[in-house]
Amino acid sequence: MMNNASIQVSVVIPTHHRRDLLKRLLTSLQVQSLAPSQFEVLIVHNHTDDGTEIMAQQWCAEQVFSAQYFKKNFNGPAQSRDFGARAALGRVVAFIDDDCVASPDWLRAGLAAFDAPQPSGGPEVGVVQGQTTPMPDQAKPFLSKTIDIQAPTVYFETCNIFYRKSVFDAVDGFSADFIDRFYGEDTDLGWKVTQAGYASWFVPEALVHHEIFHVSFYKWLAEPLYFKNLPYLVKKYPALRQHMYMKYFISKDSCLFNLLPLALLVLPWAGAWALLLPLPYFWERYRNGRHIRRIHFRLIRAAVGVLRSAFTWWALASGSWRAKSLLM
């Protein structure tokens, strides 16, 4: 019989239509350096009839640590994470995504951060971010999607993050205004915790690797549409604006993109000289593609990036209009 009183960390995994990737993640949890008696795993399945249920239930039954499977029909991962965290027995809740693989010391390193000595008079640690890198054994194709977090971020990505359970409960978990949104719910939770006066730490030893997905051209273009929630977040947490580029842009890239419509606007008066205006934007796109070794692919990326940046501009413009808060 498992002694629930000894559980220190509750791992919450939202999953949807990713049986094989989930199985890979679960395998990595079996070799954690943290003692099996000190953690539990909660799989919250936004149900799909793809064999995930049978696989997950069988896996849970075979583990020496506490493991539970929950079949749900939630609208997005935020509800799954919220459900799992509220059902957690550990004093720390560890969120990880089904397209990740945990390093053997992931749980031990994350938990240790909450027990580390605090500066005299310093705030209690409420949230700990871990390091997330692309899968080291996978190639990164020209059009790809992954997550690379090697320093603290203001977005508090839930692919790899730890919350003190008492703090999660104190702020009432994921906010109602984000529970059904896809994108931004993790940022909202992180800012709720830090704005409530709790400290945020970054622990590189709490390492996970993220799948590198090959995506279609359309998905690559449309991905920035998720940014539509960012202007609302900046309005909700004014301190977040201080972390934006020049306070009103999400990045230097998005700022420089505005030189393209400006060039078109002044073209009738400036003539060919107006074509010089977009050059800083294209240089920034080229510079940001330094992970692409072949120069001609970097040039193509810089050119095609105009379309992706246009999607970003539209998402932020429409989001700014709805939120009545400018962020481009």
**The residue type at 40:** E
**pLDDT tens track for 241-251:** 999 999 999 99
Name which of 120, 118, 117, 114 is nearest 203 in CA terms. 114
Which tokens hold the place of 186? Answer: 């993790």
The mean pLDDT value of the chain amounts to: 92
Cα dihedral 193/196/199/202 (nearest 10): 20
Q: What is the value of pTM for the model shown?
A: 0.91
pLDDT tens digits along 173-197: 999 998 887 789 999 999 999 999 9
d(CA 224, CA 237): 21
Instruction: Determine the Cα–Cα distance for residues 14 and 92; give it in Å rounded to an integer.
Output: 17
Spell out the residues 6+ positions from residue 136 whose beta carbon is closer than 8 angstroms to its own: 209
- Other beta carbons within 10 angstroms of residue 141's beta carbon come to 12
- How confident is the model at residue 1, as a pLDDT? 44
Say how far apart CA 45 and CA 53 lie, in whole Å. 8
Q: What pLDDT, in 10s, does the model give residues 83-113?
A: 999 999 999 999 999 999 999 999 999 999 9
- In the chain, what percentage of residues exceed pLDDT 70? 96
Domains of the chain from N-terminus onward: 4-215 (3.90.550.10), 240-323 (no CATH)
Low-confidence ranges of the chain (pLDDT < 70): 1-3, 120, 289-293, 296-297, 301
Percent helix, strand and coil across the chain, each to the nearest 5 = 45, 20, 35
